[in-house]
């Protein structure tokens, strides 16, 4: 029976005998040649672009009880939600502002067309779901934009939902009115 394991002292002697890596020669700056900067290592490798056969990027966005299916493709900036224009579907300007936030952060206003179908929840939750879907789809269409969108927190699904109603309670936590007499 042979023991293939090495002790720490054997490993230390191996590393001591290994040749040292060659040090980089210092670069002297001259008047006509700029100083070479240290090589910049990318923080994370870029992801692959995910596009379907029609040239669109697809993503699902969620917020509260709302779920949005979003397709993004290059275009003129038209946003369609459930077959209607965004001005018609989201009448409040604040909701339209929420939807356009990912484009503002990435400086891509008016460059992509968005088609979205939304189910569940109210209008505010649906607007948040469409925003989440647009951010996900943008990062799939242009992987270089992922860091900018992620820094703003648009890729993170907001986990806050309405607390369920409990039995013996009027709502989630509210008790029935106490009777004094």
Domain boundaries, the chain: 57-151
Q: Which two tokens stand for residue 160?
A: 């806050």
Three-class SS state of 81? strand
- CA-nearest of 106, 114, 113 to 149 is 106
Mapped to the 3 state alphabet, what secondary structure does 12-61 carry?
Answer: HHHHHHCCCCCCCCCCCCCCCCCCCCCCCCCCCCCCCCCCCCCCCEEEEE
Q: Which residue's structure tokens are 């969620």?
A: 62
pLDDT of amino acid 8: 53
| CA–CA distance, 69 with 72 (Å, rounded to integer) | 10
pLDDT of amino acid 179: 87
For residue 85, what are the β-bridge partners? 80
For residue 66, what are the β-bridge partners? 63
pLDDT of amino acid 181: 78
- CA-nearest of 178, 130, 119 to 154 is 130
Q: Which residue's structure tokens are 């038209």?
A: 78
- How are beta strands 79-81 and 112-119 bridged, if at all? parallel
Three-class SS state of 125? helix
Give yes or no for a contact between 59 and 133, defined as CB atoms under 8 angstroms apart.
yes
Domain 57-151 has CATH 3.30.230.10: yes
pLDDT of amino acid 81: 97
Per-position pLDDT tens, the chain of length 181: 555 555 555 555 655 565 555 555 555 555 565 555 656 555 666 788 899 999 999 999 999 999 999 999 999 999 999 999 999 999 999 999 999 999 999 999 999 999 999 999 999 999 999 999 999 999 999 999 999 999 999 999 999 999 999 999 999 999 999 988 7
| CA–CA distance, 74 with 110 (Å, rounded to integer) | 9
pLDDT of amino acid 31: 59
């Amino acid at each position: 029976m042979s023991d293939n394991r090495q002790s720490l002292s054997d490993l230390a002697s191996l590393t001591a005998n290994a040749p040292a890596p060659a040090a980089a020669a210092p670069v002297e700056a001259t008047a006509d040649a700029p100083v070479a900067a240290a090589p910049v290592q990318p923080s994370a490798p870029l992801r692959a672009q995910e596009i379907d056969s029609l040239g669109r990027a697809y993503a699902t966005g969620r917020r509260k009880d709302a779920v949005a299916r979003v397709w993004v493709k290059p275009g003129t900036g038209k946003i369609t939600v459930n077959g209607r224009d965004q001005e018609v579907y989201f009448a409040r300007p604040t909701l339209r502002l929420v939807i356009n936030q990912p484009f503002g952060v990435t400086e891509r206003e008016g460059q992509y067309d968005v088609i979205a179908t939304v189910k569940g929840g109210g209008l505010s939750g649906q607007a948040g779901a469409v925003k989440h879907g647009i951010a996900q789809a943008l990062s799939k269409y242009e992987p270089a934009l992922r860091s900018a969108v992620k820094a703003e927190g648009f890729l993170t699904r907001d986990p806050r939902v309405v607390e369920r109603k409990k039995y013996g309670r009027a709502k989630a936590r509210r008790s029935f009115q106490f009777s004094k007499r």
